[in-house]
Amino acid sequence: MIWEISPVVIAASLTAFFGALFIIGVLTYSKRQFGKIGARVRRAGERKDVTQKSLFRQAEFSSIEWLDTFLKKVPIGFSIQRLLLQADIQLNPAVFLSLCIGAPVITYLILHGVIHAPFMATSIFVIGVGVLPWLWVKIKKKLRMAKFLKQLPDALDGLARALRAGHGISSGFNLLAEEYDKPLGQEFEKTLQEINYGIGLEKALKNLMERVDLPSLRFFAISVIIQREVGGNLAELVETIAHLIREHYKFLGRVRVLSAEARISAIILSILPVGIGLVIFYLNPEYMSLLYTNPEGISLLKVVGGLMFFGIIVMYRMVKIKV
């Protein structure tokens, strides 16, 4: 009995190891800067040493020339590059793809070739390890965009006041870069650098929209681009946009509160079958072994897995309310 359970224990230990790496990575990349005044002073000093090379370094998809050329020809390369930029992760697409492909392969070789774990357990762990990097990037992007959205209304109010005081929009962006922490200050600093290097306001704002996946930010950028073409009171326009974004943010918060019960129910219903199955497997492995040793049990697991996947997608669509 001990020999039968030991592969599961080793597999669980492996999962805990990868989980620990995941948690450490999230904590490392999600550190908040303490001391806002000190951070502003550091940013002001660092901006003097910015070069054009550092500004465009993220355009490189891989340090290997042939791989860089290949990734730039396929859509997935640009999609991964955009996702990493939005999450502010300093990895190129080639390294990220290597992590997503290499980790599951190594996990499979260990579980199947060394430990000889059951096929079903191996499949679950391999899929989990493969999804982990994507999940990490998605969570980091979501947290970063939420913080950006929280900073945006006050930042636009400050930009409007700067415009009313007679400053240009570039000076306004400089004010936002100095006064606000990451991610808003960081992104407007990049936009200001692009303008200073002669890219142009319209192209710099379009690049900002690529790095920040928020409808509110796109609304602001497109409004500024249109105003530059047709004219008008830019300060008043920015103030109106700030008011609309603030009201939208408040309404979004109310929607999330009202839909919290449905989202928690969906999470519980999604986790409950897997949790109960793991508990039964731990208490009586021989009873559960029929599901992955018997051909009919394997077929049943495939059907149930497909139905669960479909149900999770349906529940996710039901509780996801776009505002």
**What's the CA dihedral at 274, 280, 283, 287 to 10 degrees?**
-130
Half-sphere exposure of 159 toward its Cβ, with a 13 Å CA cutoff?
A: 30
- Model pLDDT, residue 26: 52
Residue 34 above 50 pLDDT?
no
Q: What percent of the chain has pLDDT over 70?
A: 81
- Model pLDDT, residue 48: 44
Sequence-distant (6+) residues with CB within 8 A of 141 are 83, 86, 87, 213
Total residues found in the chain within this entry: 323
- Model pLDDT, residue 69: 80
- Model pLDDT, residue 236: 93
Average pLDDT over all residues of the chain? 81
- Model pLDDT, residue 174: 93
Residue 53 above 70 pLDDT?
no
- Model pLDDT, residue 101: 87
The pLDDT of 128-148, averaged and rounded, is: 92
- Model pLDDT, residue 145: 94
Closest CA to 153 of 238, 87, 210: 238
Domain ranges of the chain: 151-232, 259-323
More confident residue, 294 or 144: 144
Compute the C-alpha angle 113/282/135, nearest 5°. Answer: 65
Residue 7 above 70 pLDDT?
no
The pLDDT of 77-88, averaged and rounded, is: 89
pTM given for the model? 0.70
Residue 124 above 50 pLDDT?
yes
Residue 5 above 70 pLDDT?
no
Lowest pLDDT segment from 66-70, 216-220, 273-277 = 66-70
Neighbours of 202 (CB within 10 A): 13
Q: With bands split at pLDDT 50, 70 and 90, how would you rate the model's confidence at 36?
A: very low
| Distance from chain centroid for Cα 263 | 20
Q: With bands split at pLDDT 50, 70 and 90, how would you rate the model's confidence at 28?
A: low
pLDDT tens string 252-279? 888 888 888 888 888 898 889 888 988 9
pLDDT tens string 167-196? 889 999 999 999 999 899 999 999 999 999
Residue 36: both structure tokens together: 């806002």
Q: With bands split at pLDDT 50, 70 and 90, how would you rate the model's confidence at 232?
A: confident
Residue 40 above 70 pLDDT?
no
Q: With bands split at pLDDT 50, 70 and 90, how would you rate the model's confidence at 16?
A: low
